[in-house]
Amino acid sequence: MAAPIICFGQQPCGIFPRRFLFAKIQTARRLQHELGGEIVFFYHDSDHDPRETITVVRDLKTQRQHRINFEFANKIQKQFSPLFAKRVLPEWKEKTARQLPNFAPDSLVQSFQQVEAENVADFCLEMYRRLGLLDGIRVERSSDPAFRARAAAVEDYFVDVQYEGELVRARRSGDELLLHKGGSAYIRLPLPEHGPEQISPTRDTRFRWMQAVIACTHYVNGAGELQYLKRDEAPEVQFITRETISESDCAYLPDA
């Protein structure tokens, strides 16, 4: 029998990971201790939602919550570029480094200052590695052209295309692409010729797309994922809900 492959997935979720990601990692490590095998982190850095990277921290003195997020070069990049293409602005890093001592211990501030990354997805991933959270875990990225080339063909997907000087992630709708501006407003783009290296899945097709590459035997899901995961499409997989954790949307700060 092949060794277990224990997988969990997550978008980049802040300069310090949210506590629900830490809970997924802990659940995966517990399963590995019980079953053996390998842990794989499906890092969905093709997502474009800037809200995914909001980091909720507490003031060390007052315990009041404070939100930190990246700043973006322009409105198009903020709204529509995938996280692996949203650029890290040097002035944002400098400003944030000055603020962080109010919310995080010196060791974590130093880790933040040491990160050198050009885009949001790389920055978050490097921080998680510096925190030791990914030791011994294989990372597979949804932005990786090699991963995309091996992924399953799906009927509902986004296409990475150029728009006004930025790489954007536009949803295919028939013979056109859509950029959602909010409510019922869309920017409509022509559908160009495109290949697998430009495609990323929607929420409803993401697991099937991913599983064609990772072929996991166990998947650690968040509580919300069960609302849309089509488990009947993967009868070979055991779905395990992550361990519960307090303040799940807040940042995980290991030395605080």
Instruction: Indicate whether 63 pLDDT > 90.
Output: yes
Instruction: Give the residue among 75, 243, 214 at the shortest CA–CA distance from 144.
Output: 214
In sequence order, what are the residues at sequence separation of 6 or more whose Cβ sits closer than 8 angstroms to the Cβ of residue 170? 80, 158, 159, 161, 163, 177, 178, 179, 189
Is 252 among the domain residues? no
Q: CA geometry: angle at 102 spanning 99 and 107, to 5°?
A: 90
Is 176 among the domain residues? yes
Report the pLDDT value the prediction gives residue 248, as an integer from 0 to 100: 96
Is 145 among the domain residues? yes
Report the pLDDT value the prediction gives residue 226, as an integer from 0 to 100: 85
Average pLDDT over residues 68-89: 97
Report the pLDDT value the prediction gives residue 1, as an integer from 0 to 100: 65
In sequence order, what are the residues at sequence separation of 6 or more whose Cβ sits closer than 8 angstroms to the Cβ of residue 175? 191
Confidence of residue 256 (pLDDT cuts 50, 70, 90): low
Is 247 among the domain residues? no
Is 254 among the domain residues? no
Give the H/E segment covering residue 42: strand 38-43
Is 198 among the domain residues? yes
Is 248 among the domain residues? no
Instruction: Indicate whether 237 pLDDT > 90.
Output: yes
Share of the chain above pLDDT 90, in %: 94
| Mean of all residue pLDDT scores within the chain | 96
How many domains does the chain fold into?
Answer: 1
User: Is pLDDT larger for residue 129 or for residue 255?
Assistant: 129
Share of the chain above pLDDT 70, in %: 99
Residue 127, domain extent: 5-241
Q: Return d(Cα 154, Cα 164) in angstroms, integer.
A: 27
Dihedral sign (CA 100, 105, 110, 116) = negative
Q: What is the pTM of this model?
A: 0.96
The bridge status of strand 238-241 relative to strand 218-221 is parallel
Q: Is 221 helix (H, G, I), strand (E, B) or coil?
A: strand
Confidence of residue 138 (pLDDT cuts 50, 70, 90): very high
Instruction: Indicate whether 223 pLDDT > 80.
Output: yes
Q: Return d(Cα 136, Cα 29) in angstroms, integer.
A: 10
| pLDDT tens profile 153-194 | 999 999 999 999 999 999 999 999 999 999 999 999 999 999
Is 158 among the domain residues? yes
| pLDDT tens profile 23-60 | 999 999 999 999 999 999 999 999 999 999 999 999 99
CA 239: distance to chain centroid?
A: 19
